[in-house]
Amino acid sequence: MLFNSYIFVLLFLPSCLAGYFALNHFRFERGASYFLLGMSLWFYAYFNIKYLPIILFSICFNFFFHRLLCHTRRFSVRKTALCAAVLFNLGLLFYFKYYDFFFSNVNLAFGSSFVLKHLVLPLGISFFTFQQISLVIDTYWGETAEYGFLDYALFVSYFPQLIAGPIVTHQELIPQFQDPEKRKLNWDNFSRGLYLFALGMGKKVILADTFGNAVNWGFNNIGSLDTINGGLIMLSYTFQIYFDFSGYCDMASGIAKMMNIDLPLNFKSPYRAFTITEFWERWHITLTRFFTRYVYIPLGGSRGSALRTYRNIILVFLVSGLWHGANWTFVIWGGLHGVFVVITRHFHQFFEKLHPALNWLLTFVFVNITWIFFRANSIRQALLFGYQMALLNFSSIKDQILNCFALPELRLILEALHINFGNFYNRFCLLIFFLAALWLAVGGKNAVERTDGFRPSLSRSAVTVFLLTWCIFSFSGISAFLYFNF
């Protein structure tokens, strides 16, 4: 079920909130938890009922090993249980996400004929798998309490963060489910959450999907691109993935906040970053945290020689790239980021002497260029895209690109203000979108900053109503969040 859909906004979310708080109000706390679990599983199964047994089996299997590790003190048994749980989770992820990728490459390399399964990727499997790996490892390290099945199942399946994160830890979420004060309707939290939800939906529906239309046309017509139009498509994807992921994070946090649940910060204006290291401290923060804690540090982190540290950094980024998708384009994308992190780390004195504006520009341009590999369907397509841009052919902006930004809603707003741009309307819309996107991503306050010290006001109410109304009327062209694919 998509956050940006009629069934979610008009049926699922109101029913979930009303049922959850009503049951808690009449002191059916356990019933409220079961209700929230049921709603979360419905939310997940709505995409495809065949996904449901997978997540249920994963929850039951990992819960068994969580309890086993809580009750067993023998080192050999604990070690075996930990290895079995981690191998099961990675095996499940490999089977559904990487089976075809692995064996297609084996067939290509050795001329073998393994049959590919063409499996449909279960939504959110990368997220709920990593979430459970972290809990099992923490249980092995003795850093968790012994949780009941209901709390554990809610921790894994809680619908705001189920499909695209953040990757929460047990201590961040389960104690909040157990806190009686958080089960009471809090109008301040509810209004703040609704405002955050509206901001996130505006980012997704109005900005990300509009840029996405241009991106789809561009990558389907690479041969028609030149330097100008290729640059616009590249920058469009930079903004599409930014507002798509940022919008999801805001909406997820907003929904949770309506229920008095605080999700960890997962997105913090990454395009403001002055270095690539800072970029990864701001983009998908909980994924970076996971790889740092469970991959980078066990590899040795930065405790050894500089060469070993650089190796560990690049390995983590290669794994991060592969986590995002079963395609060599993601591996190259991750590897390029790892190499650039190593370069900036090794030559840190050189970069520190540069003007901050130049550091920001280098980082932003690098991120833009590497997003081409992230978006492309193949390495060949990514290289062709870069080749078309590198030819230094300049022409006017394609009408197909301009038309993507000429929203009828903007025309109605301009007409209401008695503003008429005539033949320049499409170009004006494109300019407005790019300037607004740049300002929101780099110069303006992000959603977290806008809700810091939040107090309901008439202006915020108007913004909430305006954004929700615009978005709901735009649902006929809904699209899934990009991170649903990972």
Q: Where are the domains positioned within the chain?
A: 6-184, 187-486
Q: What is the pLDDT of residue 120?
A: 84
Of 324, 346, 355, 418, the active-site residue reads: 324
Q: What is the pLDDT of residue 414?
A: 72
| 25 among known catalytic residues | no
Residue 463 has pLDDT above 80, yes or no: yes
User: pLDDT tens digit string along 427-437?
Assistant: 988 999 999 99
User: pLDDT tens digit string along 374-415?
Assistant: 999 999 999 999 999 998 888 899 999 999 998 877 777 777
Nearest-angstrom CA–CA distance, 19 and 25: 10
Contacts of 73 (CB under 8 A, 6+ apart): none
Query: Residue 132: which pLDDT band, with cuts at 50, 70 and 90?
Result: very high
Q: What is the pLDDT of residue 476?
A: 65
DSSP letter assigned to residue 391: T
User: pLDDT tens digit string along 21-33?
Assistant: 999 999 999 999 9
Residues 104, 328: contact at Cβ < 8 Å? no
Residue 68 has pLDDT above 90, yes or no: yes
CA torsion sign for 213, 217, 220, 225 is negative
Concatenating the DSSP letter of every residue in 36-90 gives HHHHHHHHHHTT-GGGHHHHHHHHHHHHHHHHHHHH---HHHHHHHHHHHHHHHH
Nearest-angstrom CA–CA distance, 340 and 312: 14
Q: What is the pLDDT of residue 397?
A: 93
Nearest-angstrom CA–CA distance, 453 and 479: 32
Residue 156 has pLDDT above 90, yes or no: yes
Q: What is the pLDDT of residue 262?
A: 95
Contacts of 429 (CB under 8 A, 6+ apart): 402, 405, 406, 407, 410
User: pLDDT tens digit string along 216-275?
Assistant: 999 999 999 999 999 999 999 999 999 999 999 999 999 999 999 999 999 999 999 999
Q: What is the pLDDT of residue 327?
A: 95
Average pLDDT for residues 266-285, to the nearest whole number? 95
Q: What is the pLDDT of residue 477?
A: 64
Q: What is the pLDDT of residue 49?
A: 92
Between the CA of residue 1 and those of 261, 377, 384, 479, what are the distances in Å? 20, 25, 35, 11
172 CB burial (10 A radius; 0-12, 13-18, 19+): middle
Q: What is the pLDDT of residue 486?
A: 61
Concatenating the DSSP letter of every residue in 340-378 gives HHHHHHHTHHHHHHS-HHHHHHHHHHHHHHHHHHHH-SS
Element (H, E) at 9: none
What is the residue-averaged pLDDT of the chain? Answer: 92
Q: What is the pLDDT of residue 416?
A: 72
Q: What is the pLDDT of residue 84?
A: 96
Average pLDDT for residues 144-153, to the nearest whole number? 94
Q: What is the pLDDT of residue 167?
A: 94
Percent of the chain residues past pLDDT 70, beyond the cut: 98
Q: What is the pLDDT of residue 4?
A: 86
Nearest-angstrom CA–CA distance, 260 and 254: 10
pTM of the model: 0.93
119/334: higher pLDDT: 334
Picking from 83-92, 166-175, 381-390, 443-452, which range would have the lowest pLDDT averaged per residue?
Answer: 443-452
271/120: higher pLDDT: 271
Q: What is the pLDDT of residue 484?
A: 66
User: pLDDT tens digit string along 293-318?
Assistant: 999 999 998 888 999 999 999 999 99
Residue 336 has pLDDT above 80, yes or no: yes
